[in-house]
Amino acid sequence: MSDQTATEAQTASGTLRNEETLAMVSAINQTLMAEMHRDERVMVFGEDVALSGGVFRATEGLLDEFGSERVVDMPLAEAAILGAAAGLAAGGMIPLPEIQFLGFSYQAMHQLAGQIARFRYRTQGRFSMGITIRAPFGGGVRTPELHSDSLEGQLANIAGLKIVTPATAADAKGLLTEAIRDPDPVVFLEPLRGYRGIKGPVPMGEHRVPFGKARWASPGDDVTIIAWSYQVEVAVRVSRQFAEQGISVGVLDLRSLVPLDIASIVAAVERTGRVVIVEEAVPTGGFAAEIMATINEHAFYSLEAPPIRVSGFDTPYPVGMLEDTYVPDVRRIEAAVNKLINAAP
């Protein structure tokens, strides 16, 4: 709870002197810049990351600062990007490949799931894969097909990958720093809508956020919403609306899915007994289902009502005109919270 108080104090007082307000994309850009300065083995490569600075400008300025040996525009081939990353890591580099949109990772899944995720295991520690794969994902910006898919549940089902999902600009910096320094492969998921849609205070200088430590984005005693990435932002809006009615809805931001902060999930269930889990993905076999299973295993007797998932649907991610129906929004989450409040204890 002390963390929660600290977060609230910062928000209330606005930007502290040792902080600056940044959009998430700028926090990511600054972190890449800082880590490349810190360690010359760090290199960034992918489609359009160098000359154009990335389609979201996350890698802007890196080419000028570090040159074309360390900031590299790659041929348009996702398997080559990740397969080469594996070889680079084995050769002593710290590769930061970018997959331009997470949905494109299907074209590299054999290198991700079949190779990068298991190299340390296969070689019993000889070759570690200190690779951070950055990829934008999630909906809400009217992209063409396969640009918005939320594949975190599929990725979490691959043993050997860490899955990191920042929801704030500060966490984007802290978690990305941690990812780059992690000796194992990290899939670092950046919300499309959050690049410029999420702004906030970011600590200046070194800032690290450990994996597996969830964050109370908003405190609450009646209902807990468990979310990650951009849906934390949506859930906080829901929480504010209920606060006006005198209903206390907490938002637990998981920050990383692998490793998972089981203790905080259990604590949240024990505190409120009522849980909504939000994800933008296909629900069947997804990560919200994983959290439900975790709750059942560790906190079943603290439940006061059956948990509810607010997810996408068991359909492919739809085209733009159907997108707003597919992606969870304030109203759908509100409905789930109301259902839990009205459920008999």
Partner 1 sequence: MASTLHNEDLVGMLCEMIKARIASDRLWSLQRQGRIGTIAPINGQEATVVGASWALDPDHDWVLPQYREPMGLGRYGPEILHRFAAWAIGHPQGGHIPEPLRVFPPQISLATQILHAVGLAWALKLRKEPGVALTFFGDGSSSEGDFYEAGNLAGVLEVPVIFLCSNNQWAISTPTSRQTAAAGFATKAEAFGIPGVTVDGNDPLAVFEVVGAARDRALAGKGATLIEAVNYRLGAHTTADDPTRYVPADELAAAKERDPLIVFRRQLEDRGIWDQAMQTDAERAGERAIDDAWAWASNLPLHQTDLFDHVFATPTLRQQQQRNGLTEYLRGTP
Which residues participate in catalysis according to the annotation? Answer: 147
Whole-angstrom CA distances from 141 to 62, 137, 144 are 26, 10, 9
Pick the closer one to partner 1 by CB: 27 or 257: 257
Shortest Cβ distance from residue 263 to partner 1 (Å)? 8
The sheet carrying 275-278 orders its strands as 215-218, 249-253, 223-227, 275-278, 308-310
Shortest Cβ distance from residue 101 to partner 1 (Å)? 18
87 binds partner 1 (CB under 8 A): yes
Contact pick of 85, 169, 236, 265 for partner 1 (by CB under 8 A): 85
Helical H segments across the chain, by residue range: 2-13, 24-38, 62-66, 78-90, 109-112, 119-122, 152-156, 169-181, 194-197, 230-244, 262-272, 287-299, 320-326, 330-342
Pick the closer one to partner 1 by CB: 212 or 318: 212
The one segment of 3-11, 13-21, 71-79, 326-334 that binds partner 1 by CB under 8 A: 71-79
Contact pick of 90, 109, 146, 303 for partner 1 (by CB under 8 A): 90
Whole-angstrom CA distances from 31 to 99, 100, 197 are 18, 18, 18
Pick the closer one to partner 1 by CB: 85 or 235: 85
Q: What is the DSSP letter of 106?
A: G
Residues 116-135 that bind partner 1 (CB under 8 A): 120-128
How many residues contact partner 1, by CB under 8 A? 43
The one segment of 24-32, 46-54, 157-165, 321-329 that binds partner 1 by CB under 8 A: 157-165
Q: What is the DSSP letter of 76?
A: S
Shortest Cβ distance from residue 123 to partner 1 (Å)? 5
Contact pick of 14, 92, 205, 345 for partner 1 (by CB under 8 A): 92
Shortest Cβ distance from residue 132 to partner 1 (Å)? 14
Fill in the per-residue mask, 241 to 280: x = in contact with partner 1 (CB under 8 A), - = not in contact: -----------------xxx-x------------------
Class of residue 101 by CB neighbours under 10 A (exposed 0-12, middle 13-18, buried 19+): buried
Pick the closer one to partner 1 by CB: 149 or 261: 261
300 binds partner 1 (CB under 8 A): no
112 binds partner 1 (CB under 8 A): no
Contact pick of 59, 100, 115, 239 for partner 1 (by CB under 8 A): 115
d(CA 192, CA 212): 23
The one segment of 16-24, 75-83, 198-206, 268-276 that binds partner 1 by CB under 8 A: 75-83
State yes or no: cis peptide before 183, omega within 30 of 0. no
114 binds partner 1 (CB under 8 A): yes
3-state secondary structure of 88: helix
Whole-angstrom CA distances from 50 to 59, 146, 180 are 7, 23, 19
The one segment of 50-58, 88-96, 202-210, 300-308 that binds partner 1 by CB under 8 A: 88-96
88 binds partner 1 (CB under 8 A): yes
Give the pair of three-digit tokens for residue 341. 């409040």
Q: Letter for the amino acid at 285?
A: G
Contact 127, 117 (CB under 8 A): no
